[in-house]
Amino acid sequence: MNQILLIEDERSVSDVIKAYLEKNGYKVYWAGNGSKGLEIFKSANINLVILDLMLPDMAGEDVCKGMRETSNVHIFMLTAKGSLNDRVEGLNMGADEYLVKPFSPRELTARVNALFRRLNGTNSSVCMIFDDGNLSIHFEKRLVTVRGEEIPFTPIEFDILWALAASKGKVLSREQLIRKVYGENFDGFDRTIDVHIKNIRKKIEMDTRNPKYIITVLKAGYKFGGEQKCIPLAAD
């Protein structure tokens, strides 16, 4: 059973969300503040965190940063702050999705269901290696190494990188990437993919101004470059 941590101080809101998620078969832990949320996160095997940014004891952004220091767990941010800058900042600090209040509990549940369908429906033991091992992407382990060093990726960043690498040489539009990574019902803002691409480039490119791996194709989207040496089966 997938386990979800809901960190939301408004009890009336959290009760409704919790009821919807439990009705769909999830185990839901609830915390009314950031400190309790981090405590539960450290002790339970959490698959998804739903995090309100306006908490009574600490900023939700700090909770997110704390989790990202040790985990690549999926994080959905909930907030009343809906400006473009707020959304970009949320994605930059490690959020996978950003939902602006008020929202429908049914919409949130649908996004959660879509997330776990994507994760449970993926069955690949392939490891892609580029440029004599300069970059490797191991799907089953969800592991990325750059020049031999393991680089932390958020789940959405990894999924975008994998989608592009698996379609090497083929141009994927933003809409195609959104469908591959978020599913058909995604309702985020137009430049979500661009924000994630910028963060991925910082992690894998020697020169972000002249990227080697994730190449922008003007008015079309993105494609993956690099010299692929082999695609072996996963090995221990």
> pLDDT, tens digit, for every residue of 124-161?
557 888 888 889 998 878 889 999 899 989 888 999 99
* Sheet with 74-79: strands ordered across: 27-31, 3-7, 48-52, 74-79, 97-100
Question: What are the tens digits of pLDDT across the range 50-96?
Answer: 999 889 999 998 999 899 888 888 899 988 876 777 777 878 877 88
**Where exactly are the structural domains of the chain?**
3-120, 127-230
The pLDDT of residue 17 is 95
Instruction: For residue 129, give the nearest of 118, 151, 145, 113 by alpha carbon.
Output: 145
Question: What are the tens digits of pLDDT across the range 100-111?
Answer: 888 889 889 988
* pTM beyond cutoff 0.85: no
Alpha-carbon distance of 155 to 158, in angstroms, equals: 5
Which residue carries 């429908």 as its tokens?
Answer: 104
Q: Is the pLDDT of residue 181 over 90?
A: no
CATH, domain range 3-120: 3.40.50.2300
Domain 127-230 matching CATH 3.90.800.10: the answer reads no
The single-letter DSSP state of residue 33 is: S
Considering the chain, what percentage of its residues have pLDDT values greater than 70? 89
The pLDDT of residue 122 is 54
Mean pLDDT of 33-55: 95
Question: What are the tens digits of pLDDT across the range 9-23?
Answer: 999 999 999 999 999
Sequence-ordered list of residues with C-beta below 8 angstroms from that of 147, at least 6 positions apart, any chain: 134
Q: Is the pLDDT of residue 234 over 50?
A: no
Instruction: For residue 178, give the nearest of 165, 187, 166 by alpha carbon.
Output: 187
The pLDDT of residue 187 is 62
Alpha-carbon distance of 89 to 195, in angstroms, equals: 9
Q: Is the pLDDT of residue 236 over 60?
A: no
The pLDDT of residue 188 is 62
Question: What are the tens digits of pLDDT across the range 51-61?
Answer: 998 899 999 98
Instruction: For residue 97, give the nearest of 76, 128, 115 by alpha carbon.
Output: 76
